Amino acid sequence: MGRKKRRSLREALEDQNKEALIALIERLVAVDAGLEEIVRISITPPPSKERFDPGPARERADEVFATHEPGWRDSDRILEALGRLETTAGALEESGRPCGAASDYAGLMLSVADHIEWQDECEYEWILESCGEGLERCMDAEERVDEVERMLDIFGEILAFDLMAGGYGLDEFAGSVFVKRASRDHRLRFVQRLCEDFGALQRSEMSDLFYQRGALSRWMTRLLPNVDPAEQIPSLSEALPGLKENVEACIAKRNRASYHEACQWLKRVEAGYKAAGDADGFIVYVAELRARYSKLRSLHAELRRVGF
């Protein structure tokens, strides 16, 4: 009696239902975690149906930082993990999926910007700039204007972050792309939003606050030529309460990522108090926060980490 011919793998898989295939893929990924990124690339929808969404990639990058500690001990592992995520974006780009690749590049950029202060022991900004170059290539390859504009907004986000954080040196990299590519209406919308976020500044104190170079004034001049930046900046009294509300809203979410975001807003609150000549007022404000949220140990740890 002859041996029964073994069915091909394709034939065996074709007999399985969706749930069985999903379970099989999950088992394979559990055995080899490196397969997950290959699976993600394989199931990416066709370019014509892809939408720009940096959220999932940002969450994966945030998870890298959440599972490690800042400093030299974990820096190599962080860089390796972020490098794998960037490689995935590159694979999508090479496969002719600019929107999917742009989503991954942008997600990485936003996450690295959120954690850029970790660079005291290891510099991560090169990943941000490398992903920015990839994102710009994807903008050139993507034909849908609405998706390209959303990609361009990421460079605006990085520029705004750098200006409001006091200057990590990312503004030239991101701002140059934004200024070069954004239409005047696009720039105007960005400046209006930027001014709302920058409300904690007094006009006379701009240069002193932003690493002695007047970065806000300089960039607003580049974004909207022939417009006086001083006329665009709201007063301290109008904006400081809103900045404090943002701090409270972040703390109310009760998770480590939100505490990190709250500290970013606290930096702007601090700038506002200093602009008003009331540095001691900020010290009192932080002390009140600590007392009010005395049981939130993760919040206190985050405050200590950023020096508050």
Percent of the chain with pLDDT over 70: 74
**203 pLDDT higher than 50:** no
**201 pLDDT higher than 50:** no
pLDDT at 102: 95
pLDDT at 204: 37
How many Å apart are CA 198 and CA 271, to the nearest integer? 10
The 10s digit of each residue's pLDDT in 109-168 is 999 888 876 555 446 777 888 999 999 999 999 988 889 999 999 999 888 887 766 666
How is residue 121 written in tokens? 């022991």
pLDDT at 71: 66
| Helices marked H in the chain | 9-14, 18-31, 35-42, 55-66, 72-94, 98-114, 125-141, 145-165, 171-181, 184-197, 206-209, 215-223, 236-252, 256-275, 279-292, 297-305
Integer Rg of the chain from CA: 23
The 10s digit of each residue's pLDDT in 57-99 is 999 998 988 887 766 677 788 888 888 899 999 999 998 899 9
DSSP 147-205: HHHHHHHHHHHHHHHHHHHT--S-HHHHHHHHHHH--HHHHHHHHHHHHHHTTT--GGG
How many Å apart are CA 58 and CA 2, to the nearest integer? 56
Give the residue among 283, 279, 271, 280 at the shortest CA–CA distance from 216: 271
How many Å apart are CA 104 and CA 250, to the nearest integer? 25
How many Å apart are CA 187 and CA 193, to the nearest integer? 10
